[in-house]
């Protein structure tokens, strides 16, 4: 048992008190949130089917749990006001439009429903050196999604996580991820099923290529 296990157990107990009825968990992957006995039914959704998840997340030795629904986290095919609760653990920080996700999830909840969102402590994440995203920036991208600059986001990630300073040839290669993403759009949309999966595919494609070149 890890040092943080007792704290996580207590947190889960406290958060679980708000869950009852029927709901949905997004992106549980290999570890579902432990729901209390007050919950009648939980459906599990993810952006890929089980085979696709197992192929994508090869590092998870515990394997991937079965899911009920393949869907993008921000476009869940559920009726408005139809869920008693929605759970999203360590999902929000991976989404390009987190405010849109929060609104979509809130609209799916019935009156009095509970939205349980868990995000990591930035101080202990692999990308802790990245500057915090200002709320004004999130609002701007939420209100004007056409202005979303994926290329700039990639550049920021590579610079602050992988230490590629502006002007580094390897960084310039990384900036072509946006172009690769456009090129593989049809293939990725058909095979992976969502824009988020398409983006991940492009990033991983370049991650593997950059790793070989810089070795």
Taken as a whole, the chain contains a residue count of: 215
Q: Residue 168: its pLDDT value, please? A: 65
pLDDT above 70 coverage of the chain, percent = 73
pLDDT at residue 67, rounded to an integer: 96
If pLDDT is split at 50, 70 and 90, which confidence band does 161 have? confident
Q: Express each pLDDT in 168-187 by its tens digit.
A: 665 556 555 545 544 444 44
Q: Topology of domain 5-122, per CATH?
A: Rossmann fold (3.40.50)
Beta strands in the chain (DSSP E): 21-26, 39-46, 69-70, 83-89, 109-118
Predicted confidence (pLDDT) per residue in 14-58, tens digit: 999 999 999 999 999 989 999 999 999 999 999 999 998 888 777
Task: Give me the residue spans of the domains in the chain.
Answer: 5-122, 149-214
The model carries a pTM of 0.76
Residue 11 gets the label, from left (phi > 0), alpha (psi -120 to 50) or beta, of alpha
Nearest alpha-carbon partner for 210 in 160, 171, 156, 180: 171
| CA separation for the pair 85, 77 (Å, rounded) | 15
CA distances, 161 to each of 60, 65, 127, 128, 169 (Å) = 22, 30, 5, 8, 16
> Residues 154-160: what's their mean pLDDT?
78
19 close to 39: Cβ distance less than 8 angstroms: yes
Between the alpha carbon of residue 50 and those of residues 132, 145, 200, 203, the distances in Å are: 33, 30, 17, 21
Three-state DSSP state, 26: strand
Q: What is the pLDDT of residue 157?
A: 78
Q: CA distances (Å), 90 to each of 49, 57, 95, 130, in order?
A: 19, 15, 10, 17
Q: Among candidates 22, 9, 4, 25, which has minimal Cα distance to 117?
A: 25
- Write out pLDDT tens, residues 118-131: 999 989 888 888 89
Look-up: residue for tokens 């056409």? 146
CA–CA separation, 73 and 66 (whole Å): 17
Return the closest-CA partner of residue 47 out of 70, 69, 15. Answer: 70
Distance between CA atoms of residues 133 and 130, nearest Å: 9
């Amino acid at each position: 048992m890890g040092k943080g296990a007792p704290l996580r157990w207590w947190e889960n107990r406290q958060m679980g008190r708000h869950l009852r009825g029927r709901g949905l968990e997004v992106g549980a992957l290999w570890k579902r949130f432990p729901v209390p006995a007050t919950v009648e039914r939980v459906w599990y959704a993810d952006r890929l089917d089980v085979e696709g998840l197992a192929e994508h997340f090869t590092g998870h030795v515990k394997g991937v749990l079965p899911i009920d629904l393949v869907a993008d986290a921000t476009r869940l095919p559920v009726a408005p006001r139809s869920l008693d609760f929605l759970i999203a653990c360590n999902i929000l920080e991976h989404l390009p439009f987190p405010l849109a996700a929060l609104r979509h999830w809130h609209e799916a909840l019935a009156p009095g429903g509970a939205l349980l969102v868990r995000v990591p402590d930035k101080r202990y994440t692999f990308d802790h050196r990245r500057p915090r995203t200002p709320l004004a920036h999130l609002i701007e991208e939420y209100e004007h999604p056409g202005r979303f600059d994926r290329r700039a986001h990639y550049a920021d990630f590579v610079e602050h996580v992988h230490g590629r300073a502006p002007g580094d040839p390897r960084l310039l290669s990384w900036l072509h991820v946006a172009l690769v993403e456009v090129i593989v759009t049809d293939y990725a949309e058909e095979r992976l099923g969502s824009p988020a999966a398409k983006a991940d595919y492009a990033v991983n494609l370049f991650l593997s290529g950059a790793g070989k070149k810089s070795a």
